[in-house]
Structure 1
Amino acid sequence: MTINIAINSRQMGSDLISTISGRELHAELGVGKDFTNWAKAQIKRGRFVENRDFVKLAQKGELSATGQTLIEYHFTLEAGKHIGMMSGTDRGFEVREYFLECERRAKGAAVPAVRDPRTAALIDALVRQDALEQEQARQATELARLQENVAVIEARTQPENRHFTVLGYSNLIGRPVDARAAANLGRKCAALSREKGLLIGDVRDSRFGTVHSYHESVLQEVLTPTTIN
C-alpha cells in the first residue's frame, strides 16, 4: 500500500498535534470534487471542531481560481481516519489503516540508548526524582482531600438539637484537643448528658468509626479552659 501523506506537527490551541494535509488526503482518496468544497463537506459531515480536529491556514500571496486567498485545511490523524471511513471506498480504508500504522509506530518508538554510564545514571536519577515529586504531589492532594473530609466530620452538627462531636466542637471554639484528650472529655460529656437526660448522638467518622455527639450545652460545660490540657 503506497500512500503519500506526510505527518506534520501543528499548533492547536496550546498543544502541538500531529496533522496531515487535507489537500494530500483529498488527492489520495481520488476525490473528484474540488478541494475546498470537499474539505468543508467533511468538516460538516464529521462534525469536526476547528482547533481541535482541524486548523485552517491562509496561504499568503496565493489565490484561488476565484481570486480569493487560498485556504489550506490540516486535519488531526483521528479526523483523517474518520474521513477515510466516511468515504466508504477501499482507498478510504487503506488510508485509515495507514494512519493507524503511523500511530502504532509513534507509540512504539524506541528510546535511544545512552552509552555513557554517568549520563545514564543522571537520567535515571532525574526520572526517579520526577516520579517521587509526582507521588508527593499526589499524596499532598489526597491528604488535603482527607483533611477536608475530616473538617466536615468534625464540624458536623445536627441543627435541630445542636449536637457536635468533642473534636468538632473543640475546633469550632478554637481550643483543639488531641484524640486522647477528646476521649477523656467524651466520657465526661456522656456522664453529664445522662445526668441531664440529654440525647447522645452518633456520627460516622472515617478515622474512628462511630463517635458520639453531645448537646452544645453539655460541651460548653465540659470544655472549659480549666479542663482542656
Structure 2
Amino acid sequence: MKIGTNVRSARVDAGLTQLELAKKLNISVRALQNYENGERDISAELLWNIADIFNLDMSYFVPKKVSLNVPKSVPILSPNQQVVERVQQTNTVKVNYYPNILASAGFGAFNHDLNVRVLELEEGFLMALGLKCFKNLDLITVYGDSMEPFVSNGELIILQRDVEAQNSDIVVANINGEVYVKKLQKDPIRKWIKLTSLNTMYPDIELNEDEQKYLSIIGIVRAKIRPF
C-alpha cells in the first residue's frame, strides 16, 4: 500500500477534510492531493507531522519490510554480491534528527530549538551512504552554499559525535552559539584553528589560541542526503 493512500485513510478515519488537514500542515490543498494520489513524494519531516496529528506510529504509513518481486532471471546490477548483502541487512540504527537545527554553510546560524526526533534507519541504508560506524549519529539540515560542491543548501547531513576531528575533516562547529559546516584546519605550531569554506566566495574563520575557548566541534560529517 502506498504512503499517500495510508495518509488518505488516516485522514478519512479522523473525519478531516483535505482542506482541514492542509491547514494543519500549512500546505496547499493541491499539495495534499498530490501526496495522497502518489503524484509527489512526502518528505520525512512532513510525514512525522502527519503522524503527530493523528497520533499514529510511523509504521502505519511506512511498512517495515518491502518485498521486491524481481524475477530470478533478472540480474542485479551491483559491484559485487557482498554489497547487496550488506544493503539487505535489517538491523536498525537510532539517529537523532533535529528538524529545527540549521548548520550554516555560510555566515553562521543561531540555533535555540533542540527539539529532537529519534529515527530508526536500516544499517544497510547507512552502509550504502558510506558510513562504517553507527554510534552517536545526528541528522541536521544545511543552510547556505559555502561548502558547495561537497554539500548544498537544503541538504541533510549525518554527523558523528564524540570523535576527535582531524585536519581536513568536514565538521559541524559551534562558535559562540553560531553553528557552521566547515573544513577544519589546525596548526599546532602557531596554535591557530581555521574553518574554511570550499566556496572561495566565503572568507575563512581563523581563531587564535585565546579565541578557541569559544569553539566546540559538534561532530564530523559522514554522509549527506539530498531531499527532492
Same fold flag (TM > 0.5): no
Q: Calculate the TM-score normalised by the size of structure 2.
A: 0.18
Q: Which has the larger radius of gyration?
A: 1
TM-score by length of 1: 0.18
* Structure with the larger helix share: 1
